[in-house]
């Protein structure tokens, strides 16, 4: 089971090499008036990591089937 999960995560990491998430920060707070800034934070990884995970998952699956 763990080999299948690792293989799927590896495939997804090859297909999607990152994602963004946004945070809001309050800059000015003057009673009823507020000014906020939204900042994007990119999270990137190398597709090589996905290939390594995919191969590792396939090896785990193959070793499990031998038992």
Residues in CB range of 6: below 8 A, 6 or more apart: 53, 54, 56, 57, 60
The CA distance from 24 to 31, in Å, is 18
Reported pTM: 0.67
Q: Tens-digit pLDDT profile for the chain (67 aa)?
A: 899 999 999 999 999 989 999 999 998 888 888 899 999 999 999 999 999 999 999 999 999 888 7
């Amino acid at each position: 089971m763990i080999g299948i999960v690792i293989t799927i995560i590896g495939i997804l990491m090859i297909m999607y090499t990152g994602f963004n998430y946004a945070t809001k920060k309050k800059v000015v707070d003057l009673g009823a008036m507020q000014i906020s800034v939204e900042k994007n934070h990119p999270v990137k990884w190398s597709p090589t990591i996905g290939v390594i995970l995919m191969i590792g998952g396939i090896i785990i699956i193959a070793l499990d089937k031998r038992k």
